[in-house]
Structure 1
Amino acid sequence: MTRLTHERACERLIYALARALDRYDYDAALALWSEDGVLCVPGRDHAGQGEIRRWMGQREKDMICRHIVTNVIVDVIDDVTAEATSYCSTWRVRGWRGREPGPMVPQAYAVEFIDSFQRKDDQGWLFARREVRVALAGVEQRQALRAT
């Protein structure tokens, strides 16, 4: 495989995770993670697929959520390790899932993702770690972050 092939595979994981979360497809989201993957959100690290699934399960079920991912840069370290950074703007509106279109509301978050990937012979590239760094947050989201 070429370096560009590895970069594209990791980039695709970043977009696929955003889409799976927006669709509340947690099985698809977890399929993108290594068994011992770690998700680091402000105030808490979730280690392993079981912990990551529990975090996903705490999301509000009636919320329309859209992760708009951009500025993706993947650096391949070697044939089995890569790192990436990307930015994500997130819009969220409660109570409208299943009743789209929901009302347009101000953006909830602007975050930076710091990702690490590992390639497994039998599974291809997977998330090994994601750190979420919040750069900007709406009023309600800032209050929630202070509570963590």
Structure 2
Amino acid sequence: MTTSDDRVAIEQVLYRYARAVDRLDYDGIRDCYFPDAIDNHGGYHGPVSGLIEDIRRRHTTIDSSQHFISNVLIDFTSDDSAEVESYCLCYLRQAPVDGTTEQELAIIRCRYVDRFERRSGQWRIADRVVVFDEFRAQAITDSLNPGWVRSRRDGTDPVYLQ
């Protein structure tokens, strides 16, 4: 029997995935999936280990990443499985090219179409298809005040120092 706690657990996996990608926490990404899960993620289609390597490669030039998850719809197909659709809005900013202040900001609108399963009491992604709605890129200049606390894409981000 599924409960509201199951819904919360599934949503938390989605949010933890977003944080893990944005902080380049590869173990955190792995923890959101079952080891035998398959992800169809645009240019990558395969097991989670390959997805992590794909993210590691694609994000080497990205100095800021934010994934916003919303509109989470969960349809339980049994006590231990659910079909889940969630919207994702991604902001991916490329690091500036040497000697310039201009950066490319990619804005991606997509949806995650997931099959979640509960195994050994844990809800995780068993299968994911990323459905893309739009990709836009624009040139920007980051005007963030240098005295403000800046996010980091690693374990030194303030979220990990609490």
- TM-score range, shorter-chain basis? 0.7 to 0.9
Shift of 1:38: 0.7
Shift of 1:108: 1.6
- Structure 1 residues 104 and 4, CA gap change in structure 2 (3 angstroms): farther
Identity, in percent, stands at 25
Shift of 1:42: 2.2
2:19 is paired with a residue whose SS is: helix
- Structure 1 residues 17 and 6, CA gap change in structure 2 (3 angstroms): same
Give the partner amino acid of 2:24: Y
Residues 63-111 of structure 1 show CA distances to partners (whole Å, capped at 9, x for unaligned) of 2110111111111111211111011111111116xxxxx9897652100
CA contact (8 A) 1:11 1:74 kept: no
Aligned to 1:52: 51
TM-score by length of 2: 0.73
TM-score by length of 1: 0.79
Unpaired runs of 5+ in structure 2?
A: 139-162
Name the CA distance, whole Å, in 2 between partners of 1:107 and 1:71: 21
Name the CA distance, whole Å, in 2 between partners of 1:53 and 1:107: 20
CA contact (8 A) 2:95 2:103 kept: no
Aligned to 1:125: 123
Give the partner amino acid of 1:3: T
Name the CA distance, whole Å, in 2 between partners of 1:6 and 1:53: 26
Aligned to 1:143: none
| Equivalence map 1:1-148=2 (5 Å) | 2-47=2-47, 49-63=48-62, 64-95=64-95, 108-121=107-120, 124-139=122-137
Name the CA distance, whole Å, in 1 between partners of 2:80 and 2:34: 13
Structure number with higher strand proportion: 2
Shift of 1:129: 1.0
Shift of 1:59: 2.3
CA contact (8 A) 1:109 1:138 kept: yes
Name the CA distance, whole Å, in 2 between partners of 1:92 and 1:46: 22
CA RMSD of aligned residues (A): 2.4
CA contact (8 A) 1:36 1:128 kept: yes
Name the CA distance, whole Å, in 2 between partners of 1:117 and 1:137: 26
Shift of 1:61: 2.5
Name the CA distance, whole Å, in 2 between partners of 1:12 and 1:69: 10
Aligned length: 133
CA contact (8 A) 2:112 2:128 kept: yes
CA contact (8 A) 1:13 1:126 kept: yes
Greater C-alpha radius of gyration = 2
